[in-house]
Structure 1
Amino acid sequence: MKNSSFFAGAVASFVFAFAPHASMAQDDEAPRQVLFTNVNIFDGVSETLIENGSVLVEGNLIKTVSADAIEAPDAFTVDGEGRTLMPGLIDMHSHLCFRNGMLEFRDNYDQMAAGAYTAIAMQDYLDQGFTTARDAGCNILGVAKAVNNGIIPGPRIFPSGGFLSQTGGHADTGSFNDVPGDLDDLEAHMVGFIADGVPEVTKAARHNLRAGATQIKVMAGGGVASEFDPLHMTQYSLEEMKAIVGVAEDYGTYVHVHGYHDRSVNRAIDAGARVIEHNFLVSEETVIRMKEEGVALSVQAVMSLEAFGDPESITFFSADQKAKAAQVNSGAQQMMEWAVKHDLLMVTGGDMFGPDLVRQADNIIWFNDKIAKNPHLSLKTATSNAAEVLTWSGGMNPYKDGTLGTIAEGGYADIILIDGNPLEDIHDLKRDNVDFVMKDGLVYKNWLPDDNAPAFQPAGPERDAYFGLN
């Protein structure tokens, strides 16, 4: 096991701390420069690597990408020693503030505990090389603001804010004996909004965007990890859905929806939703419609193919939830094969929390091994494809100074170094091979030799044991 140096941002107040021998000759007023040499570059788009290339970072942006040597005498040089340099990974379906699902948080934790857990979750994302996360529902808005302002370390967050759900919908976390108007703890803390009718859904969507959401998440059909909604259920009327999409469009952003089957997915598309999460039980005709109308698919391969392949192992699921999980698993592989066949714009996201949080990259790996069998396509789902969908947030996107998901001039310096070549072996994305993580020009992880790059205080055995790293 490699010795982890963990989270410079937390340890060194976000200062890029050079090793003692490093040159400090730069003018204090000049932007800091970091030069990566001897790296094979996956730019997030191309099918081949730029071999023995160089990348110059200035401040928090990429200044130069070259197949040749770059002259930068004042830069701190990081010798990649033949590693693959690639964009930081993007998880497009995160739930950063949950552990073992919504109901456990409702019954066993308070929001202070949720916040503490979120801080650990965000650090673990960075340790795995995920420098951006689109949070697909919970009250992460204040945390996202704190990350953006440099107060706490974490990946870039594109927050959806609280889920929008009808009464009895997938985000209705109330109790059986509730009466209309009752608020359970999660709704009271804006983890989700139970909103019925055009006025209520309009207000809920506007409230999320007012508080900093970059897009809106809507529950359009039944789900597995919820109590009141069978999978066959369709949620929200067309009028309600159109009202939500209209609010998003007025803000210059988009709606993504939770949906499994044809009726829920097609109603959402009729209303103008641009991204479908899950989609596991739809027909090939619906997949073809998504392609024709430019609707993106957000895939959760580990959840649907592995975890739901053995629902009895999910100890916090009820018998009904386990049955629903098995039903989802029955259609997931076929749907994803159709999605590859018809060349949908696909992105990947774990939809993983609790014990599975430490293995986000497995979602990309499982998609490749079980479905795509194409490492280039699989890598794009978490780099350039994901970045394309993130641009749909328009003016609500808080990251306007550079681009994401590619290694390109003018892009944000979100960079990871991989010990291996994931274009040849997708398993090289696993945490143990992620030797170096830079986000926004700052280093959050360094497993490079001590004489090669910034040295940081290790996290210690307690943290490594917690995440199963020893």
Structure 2
Amino acid sequence: MTATILANANVLDTEAGELLGERHVLLRDGQIAEISETPLKDSTAETVDLRGRTLMPGLCDAHVHVTAITPDFALLKKLSPFYVAGRSTDILNGMLMRGFTTVRDGGGADYGLAHAVDEDAIIGPRVLFCGQALSQTGGHGDVRGRGENALDECFCCAGLGRICDGVPEVRRAARDEIRKGATHIKIMASGGVSSPTDRIDSTQFSLEEIDAIVEEATAANIYVMAHAYTARAINRLLTRGVRTIEHGNLMDAESCELFKKHGGYLTPTLSTYNAIAKEGKEAGMPAELQAKVFEVVEYGLSALDMAYNAGVKTVFGTDLLGQMHRYQLGEFDLRKGIMPAADLIRSATCTAAEALQREGEFGVVREDARADLLVVDGNPLDDINVLTDPGNRLKAVIKEGKFYKNELQ
């Protein structure tokens, strides 16, 4: 791979929450090889003058569904996986062009899609994947309607989840996703909006099933992320070793204490509720499922406010579906009234990497980290909207040392 020197960069230190001033950064073999306060010389490297622009880590969206080309999950399960993969390419490309160089998929993406991105056959952010999320019968990953009884489970199809019941089945399902390369295991541990037969306030999976799944993930040196809304669902998960809780709209003060005690991370996904409430039906979500979003949408901000003020570590995530993926950067706008810019940026960079067990690998501009970088006009620490206007403010997207967008001239 060729080497590149990024000269005259205002480097954003995400951990300290400050601009370091003029730096010169050498990228080699996909990593940050050197950072210097004085100009660098390397006869093998091309020099790109950033002229004082801000150089920062690429963003991480820790809750996406890159194969969710429609919010109608029953329809998605019936579509050709080749068609879904083809349509996913636009979703992935859009994410990268918004500045996301890493995403964590919460159900649907697999090794093949992630590998295609790694090979540049598909242009998009690096994909960390769970394969298919684990769901109990009648849980958030069971897309059958009340009148449907057949369970035609095809594990190579385009759905987001697989059904498993009882300790032996959940062990087998977790082991199978690990066999297929999962970087984490996702479980559906409460009711949800887009599932037709469960209730938002239900808990899902028995404690014995949760323990078995966490044990299998731990044995493979990976972790468990869990879909959960209510305090009743969240609190039983944190005490059993689940690392990240997704959504969390109906959490309580006890949940906050358990997050801190057990080292858990919260991934609010405010943008998806606003998007579904606004245009879920238009985007293809059945009307009766869109109606369920109003049970949780008004509590999202208050839950984030409670968690943030209690010192819970929060991670950037969006959970957008279908045509609503375009609202991805809107998550910053929804959170900025509660979190200062430095913490908002951390949630999408260094804190996200820490939560995903990849601390120091991405989310920082540091020697030996991945050369996943953005060049922006302006200082996002002063104005988070620098990051929400990629058409005008995002001048370069670099992933593993390669430019995927370059408007620096």
For 2:120 and 2:297, how far apart are their aligned partners in 1? 40
For 2:228 and 2:147, how far apart are their aligned partners in 1? 27
Q: What SS does structure 1 have at the residue aligned with 2:211? A: helix
Aligned residue identity for 1:233: S
Match of 2:292 in 1: 324
Q: Which residues in structure 2 correspond to 1:58-69 (within 5 Å)?
A: 58-69=28-39
Q: 1:403–1:411: 8 Å Cα contact kept in structure 2?
A: yes
Q: 2:144–2:196: 8 Å Cα contact kept in structure 1?
A: no
1:324 Cα deviation from its structure 2 partner = 2.0
Match of 1:426 in 2: 384
1:315 Cα deviation from its structure 2 partner = 5.1
Q: Which residues in structure 2 correspond to 1:277-316 (within 5 Å)?
A: 277-304=246-273, 306-307=274-275, 310=278, 316=284
Q: 2:217–2:224: 8 Å Cα contact kept in structure 1?
A: yes
* Range 262-271 or range 313-322, more displaced: 313-322
Aligned residue identity for 2:354: E
Q: What SS does structure 2 have at the residue aligned with 1:77? A: strand
Match of 2:329 among 353, 361, 367: 361
For 2:154 and 2:215, how far apart are their aligned partners in 1? 29
Q: What SS does structure 2 have at the residue aligned with 1:42? A: strand
Q: Which residues in structure 2 correspond to 1:410-425 (within 5 Å)?
A: 410-425=368-383
Match of 1:447 in 2: 407
Give every structure 1 segment of 4 or more consecutive aligned residues whose post-TM-superposition deviation is greater than 6 Å: none
The change in CA–CA distance for 1:94 and 1:189 in structure 2 (over 3 A counts) is closer
Aligned residue identity for 2:289: Q
Q: What SS does structure 1 have at the residue aligned with 2:4? A: strand
For 2:280 and 2:56, how far apart are their aligned partners in 1? 38
What TM-score, normalized to structure 1? Answer: 0.82
Q: 2:283–2:324: 8 Å Cα contact kept in structure 1?
A: no
Q: 1:174–1:183: 8 Å Cα contact kept in structure 2?
A: no
Q: What SS does structure 2 have at the residue aligned with 1:232? A: coil
Match of 1:379 among 345, 358, 371: 345
Match of 1:96 in 2: 66
Q: 1:92–1:135: 8 Å Cα contact kept in structure 2?
A: yes
Match of 2:199 in 1: 230
Aligned residue identity for 2:46: F
Match of 1:157 in 2: 127
Mapped pair 1:183 → 2:152: yes
* Range 187-196 or range 351-360, more displaced: 187-196
Q: With CA pairs under 8 Å and 6+ residues apart, which has the higher RCO, 1 or 2?
A: 1
Q: What SS does structure 1 have at the residue aligned with 2:169? A: helix
Match of 1:455 in 2: none
The change in CA–CA distance for 1:313 and 1:112 in structure 2 (over 3 A counts) is closer
Larger radius of gyration: 1
Q: Please give the per-residue CA displacement for 1:260-313, whole angstroms capped at 9, x wherever unaligned.
A: 001111121232111100000111221122122211111212123x33564776
Match of 1:218 among 174, 187, 197: 187
Q: Please give the per-residue CA displacement for 1:93-140, whole angstroms capped at 9, x wherever unaligned.
A: 010011222426437732121100112211111111111011111143
Q: What SS does structure 2 have at the residue aligned with 1:321? A: helix
1:149 Cα deviation from its structure 2 partner = 4.1
1:90 Cα deviation from its structure 2 partner = 0.7
Q: Please give the per-residue CA displacement for 1:352-396, whole angstroms capped at 9, x wherever unaligned.
A: 12222234222133222x321x0000000110001111226x9xx
1:70 Cα deviation from its structure 2 partner = 2.4
Q: Please give the per-residue CA displacement for 1:17-54, whole angstroms capped at 9, x wherever unaligned.
A: xxxxxxxxxxxxxx622111122111321221012222
Q: RMSD between aligned alpha carbons?
A: 2.1
1:329 Cα deviation from its structure 2 partner = 1.4
For 1:204 and 1:218, how far apart are their aligned partners in 2? 11
Mapped pair 1:435 → 2:403: no
Q: What SS does structure 1 have at the residue aligned with 2:395? A: strand
What count of residue pairs does the alignment treat as equivalent? Answer: 407
Q: 2:111–2:129: 8 Å Cα contact kept in structure 1?
A: yes
Q: 2:74–2:144: 8 Å Cα contact kept in structure 1?
A: no
1:186 Cα deviation from its structure 2 partner = 7.7
What TM-score, normalized to structure 2? Answer: 0.93
Q: 1:284–1:335: 8 Å Cα contact kept in structure 2?
A: no
For 2:69 and 2:40, how far apart are their aligned partners in 1? 45
Aligned residue identity for 2:296: V
More strand by percentage: 2
Aligned residue identity for 2:313: L
Match of 2:80 in 1: 110
Q: 2:135–2:187: 8 Å Cα contact kept in structure 1?
A: yes
For 2:65 and 2:386, how far apart are their aligned partners in 1? 25
1:71 Cα deviation from its structure 2 partner = 3.0
Q: Please give the per-residue CA displacement for 1:161-200, whole angstroms capped at 9, x wherever unaligned.
A: 1010001100101233333x62266885563211011111
Q: Please give the per-residue CA displacement for 1:45-75, whole angstroms capped at 9, x wherever unaligned.
A: 1221012222111121101123332233442
For 1:320 and 1:41, how far apart are their aligned partners in 2? 48
Match of 1:346 in 2: 314
Gapped regions of structure 1 (runs ≥ 5): 1-30, 395-401, 450-470
For 1:99 and 1:266, how far apart are their aligned partners in 2? 32
Q: What SS does structure 1 have at the residue aligned with 2:13? A: coil
The change in CA–CA distance for 1:132 and 1:404 in structure 2 (over 3 A counts) is same
Match of 1:391 among 328, 352, 357: 357
The change in CA–CA distance for 1:187 and 1:131 in structure 2 (over 3 A counts) is same
Q: What SS does structure 1 have at the residue aligned with 2:315? A: strand
Gapped regions of structure 2 (runs ≥ 5): none
1:411 Cα deviation from its structure 2 partner = 0.7
Q: What SS does structure 2 have at the residue aligned with 1:54? A: strand
1:209 Cα deviation from its structure 2 partner = 0.5
Q: What SS does structure 2 have at the residue aligned with 1:387? A: helix
